[in-house]
Chains A and B, each alone.
Chain A
């Protein structure tokens, strides 16, 4: 470990190199504790009572979104001048964790909107683009999305077929994006499209900011998915959709770089989301195992159950620390791609394992839709798939390892 979080004061967290460090402190600072309590209070009160229902009805709860807007959930890390909260990355991860602990679908909406939906505009946008688009996203007036996946492209970004042709001072976009998180409600999605099919891979794609209402841009049916059912995941269609150069993010050919950059940040969010889902499943399991009686004893008195709970708690802790490490590196301005991938890889696998054990501990009830662990089990799986499958994360990590000097 080449970093430590040092707390000089109860309210301040800083990250230092090992050489300069005087203490390793893994307890949350007061700020992060208060962020967790505040977000938990909101999520349990506002999302808790409807989390089961919105999953069953596959309904996006606009009434809760309205309440989240003034609390800055749609501009978590956006600087104040654009209407955001400007919080640090660990606070960000805690917020995503706590929302996801109650509703994975809404945690997904918030993290995708904030990370891959907004951060590329903040990093690569012109001043004019930032002023034009970011305040609308940060206030939650517009919901963002990031569209890379297509029928023949996902892990292989080179397989993208959506293309944008420059014609008469405008780009003409044609193609179909699938499995777009927030697709059904997004009004400022970022689109990944080929702008120069002759250029070498890695330099042939660009990213465009598309506004809802642009002729030729339409939204498909909401997907009928296994989990994350309250998130309106859908296809987006582009048929001769014309946008001006002012909607091109970065330079032509920057697409892959912007996409990979966005995904680094996005993976912190998905890691945090996975930790939140796992935490919910773990808490439900502890509670249930204390209450459920078999052989005239609570099942928590059996070693088989105790072992499962111990493994669940240990893996969640490890996953959480990996996520926070990636956050700390990001905030200190260091490269964090490898660490974000490690966090996402481990946290998503943890979410799947932990929710699986939670179902097992609940027995037949865990397999019933009456109990929340069934929802956690379904929601967890996709954290191993989106924003880079576990296989892609291993590729990113191994490339980083093998590129390190011997």
Chain B
């Protein structure tokens, strides 16, 4: 039986979340959370493998208590069990501290895995680092941003777009993949699935003590990077809306941009006019 782990993260539901200029962190309380879209694709890839080959899926997240919601959602969608890694000491973790913590949790609570699936990146911080770093921590091979997954015995064959090429790669298990968005279209949770996901009152939650790690290697203290500054990009270009009758608009367009349009079509529009 294929034993899979899907790592997932809760991200804010809106894209333009306010951030705290003092701490340089996002004010996450301002928005509802949701399962990071790429993680949902990773879960879908795992569910499709399970449907084809049989298997068992453990969903894992590291985050604040409210992140329990995405684990319940994973159960509703078809995951078999879940593990919550949550501890105030783990707050403020960068990708290194996150992958270190996840690796220790996996080693202790699901060491006999065959395949770990992560989303290729998160919609809030977009680093795309945790998956590959996790494979380094666990000393297993990994392939990032995969689309199609096929299992042949103990070998996973994946396809991915690399620049303009479609690559087919093979990897022996145990291994890790990060899953691209687009190929494995996530299913919807059924109402029966949602009902079942909340039947068990509690879910397995572990902290730094359970992982046998000290405060100095997790969270902000265990992070190798610091956010020095954070700012919203300032749009330096201005959109110009031309209004009026079509003839007038075309004339104004040519008046304003005859140089640019002329150079594109290699004609001197002033001379034509």
Contacts and interface: CB of A to CB of B under 8 A. Distances in A.
Interface of A: 9-12, 30-31, 33-35, 37-38, 41-42, 67, 70-73, 76, 80, 84-87, 91, 95
Given A9-B201, A11-B201, A34 B69 contact: yes
Interface string B60-91: 00000110110011001000000000000000
Interface in B173-221: 188-192, 194-195, 197-198, 201-202
B32 interface: yes
Given A11-B201, A37-B34, A87 B191 contact: yes
B192 A72 contact: yes
A72 B191 contact: yes
Given A34-B197, A71-B191, A85-B190, 9 more contacts: A11-B201, A31-B72, A31-B197, A34-B69, A38-B189, A42-B188, A67-B188, A85-B191, A85-B192
Contact of B194 (A12, A80, A84, A91): A91
Given A9-B201, A91-B194, A38 B73 contact: yes
B76 to A, nearest CB: 7
Contact of A35 (B34, B65, B194, B202): B194
B191 A12 contact: no
A170 to B, nearest CB: 37
A86 B195 contact: yes
Residue among B73, B190, B191 with most chain A CB within 10 A:
B191
Contacts of B73: 34, 38
Interface in B74-113: 76
B192 A34 contact: no
B68 A10 contact: yes
Given A33-B32, A38-B76, A85 B69 contact: no
**Chain B interface helix/strand/loop/mixed:** helix
- Residue in B66, B198, B201, B202 whose Cβ sees the most chain A Cβ within 10 Å: B198
Interface of B: 32, 34, 65-66, 68-69, 72-73, 76, 188-192, 194-195, 197-198, 201-202
Contact of A11 (B34, B72, B189, B192): B72
A383 B34 CA distance: 33
Given A11-B201, A38-B76, A80 B188 contact: no
13 contacts: A10-B68, A11-B72, A31-B197, A34-B73, A67-B188, A70-B190, A71-B188, A71-B190, A72-B190, A76-B191, A85-B190, A87-B195, A91-B194
* Max chain B C-beta neighbours (<10 A), residue from A12, A34, A42: A34
B192 A30 contact: no
Residue from B66, B73, B76, B189 having most chain A Cβ neighbours under 10 A: B189
A37 B192 contact: no
A41 B188 contact: yes
Contacts of B198: 11-12, 30-31
A73 B65 contact: no
Nearest to B194: A35
A8 to B, nearest CB: 9
Q: Which 8 A-B pairs have the closest CB atoms?
A: A85-B191, A72-B191, A85-B192, A38-B189, A31-B198, A71-B190, A42-B188, A72-B192
Counting chain B CB atoms within 10 Å of each CB, the highest count among A10, A12, A86, A87 belongs to A10
B16 to A, nearest CB: 14
A193 B191 CA distance: 34
Contacts of B201: 9, 11-12
A336 to B, nearest CB: 21
A34 B188 CA distance: 12
Contacts of B195: 85-87, 91
Nearest to A11: B198
Nearest to A86: B195
A30 B72 contact: yes
Contacts of A85: 190-192, 194-195
A9 B203 CA distance: 12
A259 B202 CA distance: 41
A123 B188 CA distance: 30
Contacts of B72: 11, 30-31, 34
Contacts of A34: 69, 72-73, 76, 189, 194, 197
Nearest to B190: A71
A79 to B, nearest CB: 11
A95 B189 CA distance: 12
Contacts of A31: 72, 194, 197-198
Nearest to A41: B188
Given A11-B198, A80-B192, A87-B195, A37 B76 contact: no
Nearest to A9: B201
Given A11-B198, A31-B198, A91-B194, A38 B69 contact: no
A30 B68 contact: yes
A38 B68 contact: no
A37 to B, nearest CB: 7
Contacts of A87: 191, 194-195
Contacts of A30: 66, 68-69, 72, 198
Contact of B192 (A12, A86, A95): A86
B194 A38 contact: yes
Nearest to B189: A38
Nearest to B13: A37
B32 A37 contact: yes
Contacts of A80: 192
Nearest to A71: B190
Nearest to A12: B201
A77 to B, nearest CB: 9
Which of A12, A38, A76, A84 is the most central at the interface, judged by chain B CB atoms within 10 Å of its CB?
A: A38
Nearest to A43: B188
Contacts of B68: 10-11, 30
